[in-house]
Amino acid sequence: MTAAPLRIGNFSGFYGDRADALREMLTGGELDVLTGDYLAELTMLILGRDRLKDPSAGYARTFLRQLEDTLGLAHERGVRIVTNAGGLNPAGLADAVSALADRLGIPVRVAHVEGDDLGSRYPGSLTAHAYLGGFGIAACLREGADVVVTGRVTDAALVTGPAVAHFGWARTDHDRLAGAVVAGHVLECGTQATGGNYAFFRDGDVRRPGFPLAELHSDGSSVITKHPGTGGFVDVGTVTAQLLYETGGARYAGPDVTARLDTVRLTPDGPDRVRIDGVRGEAPPPDLKVGRTRLGGFRNEVTFVLTGLDVAEKAALVQAQMTEAFAKSKPQDVTWDLVRTDRADAGTEETASALLRLVVRDPEQAVVGRALTGAAIELALASYPGFHVLAPPGKPSPYGVFEAAYVPQGEVAHTAVLPDGRRLPVAPVDETRALDAVAEPPLPEPPPAGRPVRRAPLGLVAGARSGDKGGDANVGVWVRTDEAWRWLAHTLTVDLFQQLLPESADLPVTRHALPHLRALNFVVEGILGAGVASQHRFDPQAKALGEWLRSRHLDIPEDLL
């Protein structure tokens, strides 16, 4: 196996990320591979709607614009680019990259990976794509590709693929593959690993965080860092936060390997350097996850502004009036949220006002269109005192639904399409292991009783990061000292979590302990309804659920404060 470390950087964490990041990463320091992640659950729906309008679309066009003035630079520096920007049409994007290279006179070999599109299996879906692993990417790189375009692969596959090609790992090198998956999970969201969206953002200058990179070694260990002189910072906390993002239990399953998050060890390795080692892996599950999107119907909304006194009574009045107005149209789903942004004796009108948000959904566009618009506007002179809205209801917009399905690995035609046009089938794994729950790990001794406590926000002691997986959300909570971990592990139970976040009180909540990370991960089932595209709640991707938790007050030992 090749002993030289592989330096893999990231230049995109989502469709719409910083446009000049590709150039920044190419000019900022030494790299072997650059990865770009463009595909979130919502992105697949967006690309699906693009493809309805134009069958030749379906990929992230911004990637082509980024390549315009960087493809030559990448070629000169010998940096290979691996990206899932192909979305629903990796062959189309690969052709477009080849055409761009020809126009610029740059001898670039372009390959792509396909086989993830399972739309024919799921009638009625807008998109249906299996999450492929990294071995198709590895095949393209071994055959000399300079740019590899994929469709729906796991985010971490953008790192495991180059690692497999570079180090020659086999399918059964589970620990090594798991190490690469963990490094890939840290890199996949770009600057979230370097201080972006970070609970303790005041620890460094995060006005313009640099993008992360991993120095990956042949044993699967890695060092997470960034180019010298770039903004943001990398420490154990920033890496921990990203490790907890959009995860569940101790077993982090993927198509190539199941990584055991409860074995991950993080240690400082110098300024802006964190070493990841100790990662153990297991054979992957026998089935591949399939992400399906479909149009769920149409939605519309209006926000009423309630100013001054009698806010609750004003809200009740307009709700009753709108309910009567809906008696004929009968929208399938009607949701009201009263947001008490008002203050008593306020010095400005805005701070004297509360917001009452009405959202309606229905399979029929007309039901949430003119019916809502007319009903809301007709109340302008006939409702509560001070009646006005933030904006008139607009045209109904379609909303999407995300659903997960599973297919056996052997039923997906994972294929590497090489620069010369040859098609190499990628064999499925031989060894699989069904997922099962991990037993609760040993926790530290409970802290001594009787210590003085103070009522204070949880966030003075703990960091958090939250995110979405379909209709579920996870909230990872971690602390930075062993003594704080003793307290957190025995204090933040599921019951207390549900008390602090009442929206989760009637939903299934599972707690997973990760002692090596001094972390707890809570999975809240169903809090996001049918997923981000359905806009089920105020924060549809649960991005700030963790920050809400950190703001809640509880009794905290004074010596931890």
Whole-angstrom Cα distance, residue 407 to residue 479?
A: 38
Alpha-carbon distance of 83 to 110, in angstroms, equals 12
d(CA 174, CA 142): 20
Round to whole Å and give the CA distance between 86 and 136: 14
pLDDT given for residue 184 in this prediction: 98
Query: In this predicted structure, what is the pLDDT of residue 271?
Result: 97
- Looking at 85-173, list the stretches that DSSP marks H as alpha helix, in order from N- to C-terminal side: 90-104, 135-142, 157-167
* pLDDT value for 6: 98
Closest-CA residue to 157 (of 128, 174, 177): 177
Task: Please tell me what DSSP assigns to residue 153.
Answer: B
**CA distances from residue 182 to 132, 192, 239, 263, 282 in whole angstroms, order as listed:** 16, 14, 10, 11, 13
Contact 276, 179 (CB under 8 A): yes
Neighbours of 329 (CB within 10 A): 18
Rounded CA-CA distance 219/198 in Å is: 29
| Spans of the chain, pLDDT less than 70 | 1-2, 531-535
So what's the pLDDT on residue 373? 79
Q: Where are the alpha helices (DSSP H) in 233-331?
A: 236-244, 311-325
At residue 191, the pLDDT reads 98
Identify the CA nearest to 379 among candidates 370, 371, 388.
Answer: 388
Residues present in the chain in total: 561
Q: What are phi and psi of 232, to 5 degrees?
A: 80, -165
* Token couple for 496: 């207390």
Question: Which domains, and CATH codes, for the chain?
Answer: 6-291+404-425 (no CATH), 298-401 (3.30.70.360), 453-560 (no CATH)
